[in-house]
């Protein structure tokens, strides 16, 4: 039976590819007879009937699929199927009411998730002080640098003011949403979801961590709850939810389709309703695509193009047949202006994917699988230093591993005469703090931000935990340090 099903599916796909809709329908009907509950086959039948303008048959198949998804709690998939019905005939009655019922089911599930997530956190949170996002930890101390360092200069020319401030350190500020979005990515970052800011403390938008004793819930079990999770729409009321659903456009894709291509223009945001997709980015050094992530129903992509107005930072390809809900930029801007909660979710995922891409292209973490990088993301913080800030002063103990996202960092020291000299200059993609961490030594130099700079920071305690789990990281860092020494001698 299994072999027979495989052969029938192969014939069906061949007829579909050749646009022989009639013969394809016959084969897909055979598959439905073998497994009446295979919703993907019913969906494909609906597509074929729609191509042949058989309205009633198409609506029957889509209705079967939509109602089944709704009954089982798969909200996004159900919305997609109901939208397909309206695509065939916008006048079909009862669809609006069915979508409204989906909202009710979603809110019941999300409320249950909230109850589960906060069981163990209530007492803990009551003892915490409310700290505003982006609050300055300490007042920044700036060093006036009048002239930007040219690439040809052998030494830094700093004023007396710089010399007087040489021993002063500075604490960074945690990057606000506005600062992050306003930045222009550099180099590999011209590309770049689970969360680095306070907005991610929302258990619904997070990818739920259920702690403590589990509550007894009559209507939903844990698996059922997760079906209904729609992060992008989690803060909407019933009326708002319906307004957004009306804006969504359904896009059907087949295995191998490229939805967005790296380097091309585009600013739509896509929510995955069905199928699995892979996110690929070209590595110019290895001359091949690097797998950044795999996306499933409920996930979304396209936020980089939306926020930065840059070309697509990566390629998204369909691993299997699927459905997408597309939102154009102008429509999304309208939605965000009206419902700011959606913006918070988008920014949260934007940050997550930005950090993930930085890690994927770093020489230390590049060997990590996507799932392994996922576990590291929350350990990193995005921090910013103003131009002229002293990031670390000479003699400070090892505190963290830094990856430079944007800007320029300079390592300086004093010579025998007390004059400040340039040791090295670091640019986006470079590491900082690796030598002190690995060899457990104080910083042998002072670190300055010669431009406004954004860094990823992994504190020492978390670094030790990561190394304990992935022991090869220390060796990778030692190799990098050795390479830097060799390159430095070669230049001399």
* 288-303 tens-digit pLDDT: 888 888 898 888 888 7
For residue 316, give the 3-state DSSP assignment.
strand
pLDDT digits (tens, 9 = 90+) for 434-449: 888 888 899 998 999 9
Question: pLDDT class for 317, splitting at 50, 70, 90?
Answer: very high
pLDDT digits (tens, 9 = 90+) for 469-479: 887 777 777 77
* Alpha-carbon torsion (248, 229, 293, 275), positive or negative: negative
What average pLDDT is seen over the chain? Answer: 73
**Quick one: which of 116, 138, 134 has its CA closest to 198?**
134
181 CB-contact burial (10 Å; exposed 0-12 / middle 13-18 / buried 19+) = middle
What does the block give as tokens for 252?
Answer: 């059907």
Evaluate if residue 226 carries a pLDDT over 70: no
Domains along the chain? Answer: 2-115 (1.25.40.10), 160-171+379-491 (2.60.120.10), 187-207+233-361 (2.60.120.10)
Amino acid 422: pLDDT: 87
Amino acid 217: pLDDT: 27
- HSE-CB for 312 with a 13 A CA cutoff: 22
Contact 34, 1 (CB under 8 A): yes
Distance CA 192, CA 185 (A): 7
Mean pLDDT, residues 141-165 taken together: 39
Distance CA 366, CA 24 (A): 44
Evaluate if residue 378 carries a pLDDT over 60: yes
User: Can you count the helices (H) and strands (E) in the chain?
Assistant: 19, 17
pTM: 0.53
Amino acid 307: pLDDT: 66
Strand order across the 300-301 sheet: 249-253, 322-327, 269-274, 300-301
Question: pLDDT class for 421, splitting at 50, 70, 90?
Answer: confident
Contact 431, 479 (CB under 8 A): no
């Amino acid at each position: 039976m299994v072999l027979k099903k495989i052969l029938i599916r192969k014939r069906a796909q061949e007829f579909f590819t050749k646009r022989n809709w009639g013969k394809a329908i016959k084969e897909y009907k055979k598959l439905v007879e073998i497994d009446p509950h295979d919703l993907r086959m019913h969906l494909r039948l609906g597509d074929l009937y729609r191509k042949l303008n058989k309205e009633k048959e198409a609506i029957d198949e889509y209705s079967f699929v939509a109602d089944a998804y709704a009954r089982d709690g798969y909200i996004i998939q159900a919305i997609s199927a109901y939208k397909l019905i309206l695509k065939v005939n916008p006048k079909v009655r009862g669809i609006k009411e069915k979508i409204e019922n989906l909202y009710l089911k979603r809110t019941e599930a999300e409320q249950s998730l909230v109850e589960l997530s906060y069981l163990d956190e209530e007492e803990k949170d009551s003892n915490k002080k409310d700290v505003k996002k982006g609050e300055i930890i300490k007042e920044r101390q700036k060093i006036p640098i009048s002239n930007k360092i040219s690439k040809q200069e052998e030494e830094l020319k700093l004023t007396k003011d710089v010399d007087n401030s040489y021993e002063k350190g500075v604490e960074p500020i945690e990057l606000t949403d506005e600062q992050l979005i306003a930045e222009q990515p550099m180099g590999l970052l011209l590309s770049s979801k689970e969360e680095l800011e306070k907005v991610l403390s929302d258990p619904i938008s997070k990818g739920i961590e259920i702690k403590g004793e589990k509550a007894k819930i009559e209507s939903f079990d844990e698996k059922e709850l997760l079906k209904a999770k729609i992060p992008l729409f989690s803060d909407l009321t019933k009326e708002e939810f319906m307004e957004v659903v009306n804006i969504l456009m359904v896009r059907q894709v087949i295995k191998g389709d490229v939805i967005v291509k790296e380097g091309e223009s585009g600013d739509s945001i896509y929510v995955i309703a069905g199928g699995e997709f892979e996110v690929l980015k070209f590595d110019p050094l290895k001359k091949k695509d690097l797998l950044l992530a795999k996306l499933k129903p409920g996930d979304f992509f396209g936020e980089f193009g939306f926020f930065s107005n840059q070309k697509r930072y990566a390629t998204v390809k369909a691993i299997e047949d699927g459905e997408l809900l597309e939102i154009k930029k102008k429509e999304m801007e309208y939605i965000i202006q009206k419902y700011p909660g959606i913006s918070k979710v988008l920014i949260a995922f934007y940050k997550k994917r930005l950090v993930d891409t930085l890690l994927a292209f770093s020489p230390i973490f590049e060997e990590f699988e996507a799932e392994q990088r996922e576990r590291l993301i929350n350990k990193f913080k995005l921090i910013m230093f103003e131009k002229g800030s002293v990031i670390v002063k000479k003699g400070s103990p090892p505190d963290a591993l830094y990856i430079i996202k944007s800007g320029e960092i300079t390592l300086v020291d004093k010579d025998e005469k007390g004059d400040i000299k340039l040791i090295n200059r670091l640019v986006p993609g470079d590491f900082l703090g690796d030598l002190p961490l690995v060899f457990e030594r104080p910083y042998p130099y002072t670190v300055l931000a010669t431009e406004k700079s954004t860094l990823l920071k992994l504190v020492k305690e978390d670094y030790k935990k990561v190394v304990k789990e992935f022991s090869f990281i220390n060796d990778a860092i030692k190799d990098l340090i050795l390479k830097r020494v060799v390159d430095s001698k070669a230049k001399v």
